[in-house]
């Protein structure tokens, strides 16, 4: 008999107990600037095509002793960027809101802006859902601001498909809550 008991029956039993998270069980719940001047609500966020839960990296540091290198964990870091793809609504209001927020940070027409450090209340809320669309976990990207708002492409030879645009938000760190 093998030492490792990972048989088809074991897989089936565990899959029945725990099930699988599905690719549609995720929502971007809220995006807002720290001063509340720019808020992207549920009605806007139905246009979000999806998203991802940010990863986390713990730095490793080598500590040598008698010819051996020991790995010592250090500080955590995050990618700091959060790309999203949105469907563009008929009047392009969502994209214009993001562009206005971006111009609030730096306006190239006047060479002025708020050059501020995004506040702790400038956030992106993400939720992971179960099969009943109830929250399993919530992830809050803290210190968020728009870095890049992508272009919208139109073509006269199009088929009438909805157009999309990308938005890259930056953030400082992530808070997570399990429900």
2 — pLDDT class (breaks 50, 70, 90): low
Q: What is the rounded CA–CA span in Å between residue 158 and residue 90?
A: 16
Distances (CA, A) of 177 to 10, 41, 91, 128: 30, 21, 35, 10
What per-residue confidence (pLDDT) applies to 50? 87
Written as six digits, the tokens of 151 are 């272009």
Residues 79-123 pLDDT 10s = 889 999 999 999 999 999 999 999 998 889 999 888 888 889 999
Percent of the chain with pLDDT over 90: 72
Structure letter (DSSP) for residue 48: B
The 3-class SS string of 90-125 reads: CCCHHHHHHHHHHHHHCECCCCECCCCCCCCCCEEE
Written as six digits, the tokens of 32 are 């807002």
3-state secondary structure of 153: coil
Task: Give the list of residues 6+ apart from residue 140 with CB closer than 8 angstroms, or none.
Answer: 123, 124, 125, 126, 174, 175, 176, 177
Q: Is there a contact between 122 and 104 (Cβ–Cβ < 8 Å)?
A: no
Q: What is the rounded CA–CA span in Å between residue 147 and residue 23?
A: 26
Q: How many CB atoms lie within 10 A of CB 74?
A: 10
Q: Is there a contact between 146 and 167 (Cβ–Cβ < 8 Å)?
A: yes
Written as six digits, the tokens of 101 are 């927020």
Query: Whole-prediction pTM value?
Result: 0.85
57 — pLDDT class (breaks 50, 70, 90): very high
3-state secondary structure of 66: coil
Q: Is there a contact between 16 and 102 (Cβ–Cβ < 8 Å)?
A: no
């Amino acid at each position: 008999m093998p030492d490792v008991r990972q048989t088809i029956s074991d897989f089936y039993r565990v899959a029945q107990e725990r099930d699988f998270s599905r690719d549609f069980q995720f929502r971007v719940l809220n995006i807002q600037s720290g001063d509340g001047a720019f808020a992207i609500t549920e009605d806007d966020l139905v246009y979000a095509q999806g998203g991802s839960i940010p990863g986390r990296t713990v730095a490793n540091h080598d500590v040598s002793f008698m010819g051996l290198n020991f790995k010592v964990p250090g500080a955590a870091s995050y990618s700091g960027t959060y790309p999203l793809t949105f469907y563009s609504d008929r009047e392009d209001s969502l994209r214009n809101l993001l562009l206005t927020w971006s111009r609030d940070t730096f306006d190239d027409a006047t060479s002025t802006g708020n050059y501020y450090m995004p506040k702790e209340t400038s956030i992106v809320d993400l939720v992971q859902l179960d099969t009943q669309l109830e929250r399993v976990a919530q992830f809050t990207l803290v210190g968020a601001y728009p870095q890049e708002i992508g272009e919208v492409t139109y073509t006269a030879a199009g088929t009438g498909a909805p157009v999309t645009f990308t938005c890259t938000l930056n953030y400082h760190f992530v808070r997570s809550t399990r429900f």
